[in-house]
């Protein structure tokens, strides 16, 4: 998606005034890409913060995600309309299927077709998927075509590089969005990343984000602190050397942090 800012503001686990303040501060600092989801329970607060910012709608890129309970053909579009009402918008920029249907109780084709219909109705400018395996991606492509899948949002950070899925998505021209790009702060405690940060006179968080950005991913870190929000946004200016990138490539240990009991069988 050419118009999706490469650095977005994630809102997972942020509620009430905390998320309002995070989004408000982020927008003040220059963030224009905001990522939320039905299950986060914060769409209304995110919508309020965006509304009160006074920033024109066409200057913002807003993503939400359909929860597993609303994947049925008759439930998906009404659930997205409910999200739009909470967000105070007629249309979001991107709507994702948050997780494949647990135990594949609902076929991928059913909810991808409904999601495409939501796009055709003008409820969302683009559609995509999140937490999909290669098998789920294959089914999604068969249902709506790779051209209609704007991004695959998956957990990617130095300790979980997810290369198989990345390679498959890229072979079909599907863009990648990395969530949890800082591995819940674990990147701050890694000696290799710390060494690279020291050489560049920057922070471990900025190094981890720069690594993702240089691989071509969109990143959506979250923070509640103005200094961290500002630093994350500046990561795009940091250029890592080939040696830096090669060192971080060795850190992959398949350390998955988002792995609920209803998760699919990962590749």
Which helix or strand (DSSP H or E) is residue 242 part of? helix 242-249
Kindly name the residue from 40, 111, 179, 217 that is annotated as catalytic.
Answer: 40
> Could you confirm whether 179 is annotated as catalytic?
no
CA dist 165 and 8 (Å) reads: 22
**How is residue 251 written in tokens?**
């850190």
**How is residue 77 written in tokens?**
């579009």
SS3 12: coil
CB 93 within 8 A of CB 58: no
Measure the N-to-C terminal CA separation of the chain; round to a whole number of Å: 25
CA dist 119 and 155 (Å) reads: 25
Buried b (16+ CB within 10 A) or exposed e, 153-164: bbbbbbbbbbee
**Catalytic center residues:** 40
């Amino acid at each position: 998606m050419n118009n999706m800012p490469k650095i977005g503001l994630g809102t997972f686990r942020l509620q009430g005034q905390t998320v309002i303040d995070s989004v408000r501060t982020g927008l003040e600092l220059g963030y224009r890409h905001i990522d939320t989801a039905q299950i986060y329970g914060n769409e209304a607060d995110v919508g309020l913060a965006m509304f009160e910012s006074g920033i024109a709608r066409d200057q913002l890129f807003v993503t939400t995600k359909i929860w597993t309970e609303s994947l049925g053909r008759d439930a998906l579009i009404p659930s997205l309309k409910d999200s739009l009402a909470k967000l105070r918008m007629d249309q979001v920029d991107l709507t994702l299927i948050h997780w494949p249907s647990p135990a594949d109780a609902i076929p991928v084709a059913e909810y991808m077709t409904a999601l495409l219909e939501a796009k055709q109705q003008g409820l969302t400018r683009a559609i995509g998927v999140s937490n999909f395996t290669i098998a789920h991606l294959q089914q999604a492509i068969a249902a709506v075509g790779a051209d209609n899948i704007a991004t695959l949002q998956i957990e990617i950070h130095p300790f979980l590089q997810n290369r198989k899925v990345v390679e498959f998505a890229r072979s079909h021209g599907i863009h990648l969005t990395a969530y949890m790009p800082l591995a819940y702060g674990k990147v701050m405690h890694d000696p290799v990343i710390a060494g690279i940060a020291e050489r560049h006179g920057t922070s471990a968080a900025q190094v981890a984000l720069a690594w993702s950005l240089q691989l071509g991913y969109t990143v959506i870190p979250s923070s509640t602190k103005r200094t961290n929000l500002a630093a994350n946004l500046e990561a795009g200016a940091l250029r890592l050397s080939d040696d830096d990138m090669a060192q971080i490539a060795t850190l992959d240990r398949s350390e998955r942090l988002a792995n609920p009991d209803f998760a699919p069988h990962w590749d």
